[in-house]
Amino acid sequence: MKKLLLAIIMLAAFTANAQYHLLYESFSDGSGDTSRTQVTVAGEQLRITSADPEETNPIPGIAKHITYIDFARDTAFYQLYYSQNEQYFTGVSLHSGNDYQFEKVEIVDGYRCKKYTTSLFSNRMEIWMTEDLKYHATPTTTFADLPGVLVKYTRNGNTTTRLASEKIERNVRNKKEPQPLVPENLGTYMKSRQLGYLEKEKLVITIPVFHDAQICFNPKLEKSRAIPFDTVLPYSNGTIILKRLNIKQLPAHYQLFAELTEQSNGDAYDRTGSIFVIPTSQKTNFLNALIDSVGVLPVFTDKNGEQYQGIKLEKNYTPLVELVRFFTPFGVKHFNQYRSLNDKEWEDAAYYKQDVSDLRQYLQGDVYIGAFIGNYDGGGHKISLDLKAYPESYEWKTGDENLWTLPLFNTCNVMEMSGQNYGKFFETDSLTVTFTVPEGLTSLRLRYLSTGHGGWDSGDEFVPKENVILIDGKPRFRHTPWRSDCGTFRTYNPASGNFWNGMSSSDYSRSGWCPGTATQPVYFDLTGLTPGEHTITIAIPQGQREGTYFSAWNVSGVLVGRR
């Protein structure tokens, strides 16, 4: 009897100062991928970490995720561990509020288990817990309020997490309680939502371009001939701002976005805006025009004898690469206090975000990025622009992404205030560009932007017009740019004119744009176009002039391919 009592006491001592190491495996049916989670148990505390191999060349901003559970305090702690000096955490209760249903007792992987079921976000969950191991462990806080050790759970019958192994470490000589797993200092406390936001933001590579920069009309502004790095400079009487940056090349698995905000700084009208890059590989380029005169650019002359400067690819000239075509709303922010809506609040700024990954070739190295808003106001507008790169892999992968691009045309007259003509030649003419397709392209597309302008009743802004794209003289694609959802953006347009019938000017449908929106590029597949010289022609049935009123079309096109 004494020997049995001694054995029980010894077992209790072993259990009290033991650490348990549990390995869990997670997999989906048919995927072939398995992830592993390590759970360490010491007394009433757990430490949960990934057991997968760490990346040998990780992307910047990755945190190590550590979850601590303290059953005595009924709390789970989620920690982001970046370095010894940079750690953040949040804490949540272990009471999940799940409505568990006990079904039956089953033997699973050799363990006697109680089976529970519940539903989480429309997913059916089946959970098997064993209480035979005499301690409490789980690889996820979701089921931490169930008693025992989690042996297995499935989601919708096709995703499984299971206990793969259990190891016990006992210290026979030291009969004291094990050292706590939860550190006294977990780092900086944050609310759960803030922690999630911080984690994602650290993974994003942000390239600041403009911050609260003014674009206005001011003929007294002097244009600079020298363009140093990281300096915002005004051109074309202040309606263009330009910045020169040195941008490091990103791996191909990063998606690249242009993120733009705009506020009125005095101008009440809806204006054409453009974010663009200036290619400078040719001796004659758009930078020359900004510094000297629009007259240095190659000229296209239409059948009426009018001239259009720098709008298409030439032997010694590459047109602007348009990243984003956007349109300011009617006076957002500056005019918010002048009018009110019965059931809505005015927005504080217009926000635009567009994927520009296809144009990343022009966003690395020595880069000139410009922003244009056509306006005649001394206060004008203020904008902020960032380039943001989002990873699609945890590993920093180097190497050539084999992207090939060729800018073909851009009729958006960003130097409007310096004499660059509007794209109004489609009334009597078309636009034809000769280009060469290199050998070895596996895909080829045309990235096409098109918006119609002419702001009176029968102007092309308000009349749908079919754009016909001809390749080598033969019609290949037909596209009618049109937005019929402009009323959706009413709260961005406090200065929009209101009419007797309940409509506002900003509500009306338009040719490929709305006040307060960005125009989405359309892609046309040219895969299979043989290597060699070809022509592309853009034909639009532009409306005729009425007195001093005229219509115009802003079209830009870039060929995008892969080798």
Q: pLDDT for 165-198, tens place per residue?
A: 999 986 645 556 668 999 999 999 999 999 999 9
pLDDT at 215: 98
Overall size of the chain counted in residues? 563
Q: What is the pLDDT of residue 520?
A: 96
- pLDDT tier, 29 (very low <50, low <70, confident <90, very high otherwise): confident
Q: What is the CATH number of domain 204-562?
A: 2.60.120.1570
Confidence of residue 373 (pLDDT cuts 50, 70, 90): very high
Residue 16 in this model has a pLDDT that exceeds 70? no
Q: What are the distances in angstroms from CA 428 to CA 350, 425, 464, 546? A: 36, 6, 18, 15
Maximum separation of any 2 CA atoms in the chain, in Å: 115
Neighbours of 173 (CB within 10 A): 6
Instruction: For the beta carbon of residue 487, count every other beta carbon within 10 angstroms.
Output: 14
Domain ranges of the chain: 2-198, 204-562
The answer to whether 286 touches 220, Cβ cutoff 8 Å, is: no
Residue with tokens 């601590």: 68
What does the pLDDT read at residue 176? 61
Which structure tokens are listed for 404? Answer: 């090939």
Q: Is the dihedral of CA 143, 149, 155, 156 positive or negative?
A: negative
CB 460 within 8 A of CB 543: yes
Phi and psi, residue 70, nearest 5°: -120, 100
Q: What is the mean pLDDT of residues 499-523?
A: 96
pLDDT of residue 315: 93
At residue 256 the predicted structure's pLDDT band, cuts being 50, 70 and 90, is very high
d(CA 15, CA 169) in angstroms, rounded, equals 9
Mention every residue, 6+ apart, whose C-beta is less than 8 A from residue 451. Answer: 272, 325, 327, 481, 510, 511, 512, 513, 519, 553, 554
Produce one character per residue of 58-78: b if its CB has 16 or more CB atoms within 10 Å, e if not.
ebeebbeebbbbbbeeebbbb
Residue 5's pLDDT is: 36
- Percentage of the chain beyond pLDDT 90 is 89
Is residue 6 pLDDT above 60, yes or no?
Answer: no
Q: Can you tell me the mean pLDDT for 261-278?
A: 98
Confidence class for position 32, pLDDT limits 50, 70, 90: confident
pLDDT at res. 111:
97
Average pLDDT, the chain: 94
Q: How confident is the model at residue 3 (pLDDT cuts 50, 70, 90)?
A: very low
Instruction: Kindly tell me if the per-residue pLDDT of 11 is higher than 70.
Output: no
pLDDT band at 400; cut points 50, 70, 90: low
Contacting residues for 218 by C-beta, under 8 A, at least 6 apart: 234, 237, 238, 378
Structure confidence at residue 10 (pLDDT): 36
Angle in degrees, CA 524, 528, 532, rounded to 5? 105
- Residue 13, pLDDT > 50, answer no
Asked, colleague to colleague, whether 2-198 and 204-562 share their fold, the answer is no
Q: What is the mean pLDDT of residues 276-296?
A: 96
Determine the pLDDT at residue 8.
Answer: 32
At the top level of CATH, the class of 2-198 is: mainly beta
Query: Has this prediction a pTM greater than 0.85?
Result: yes
Looking at 218-232, 286-300, 391-405, 438-452, which range is the least confident one? 391-405
pLDDT tens, residue by residue, 323-347: 999 999 999 999 999 999 888 999 9
Span 499-503, mean pLDDT? 88
> How far apart, in Å, do the first and last CA atoms of the chain sit?
82
What is the model's pLDDT at position 169?
84
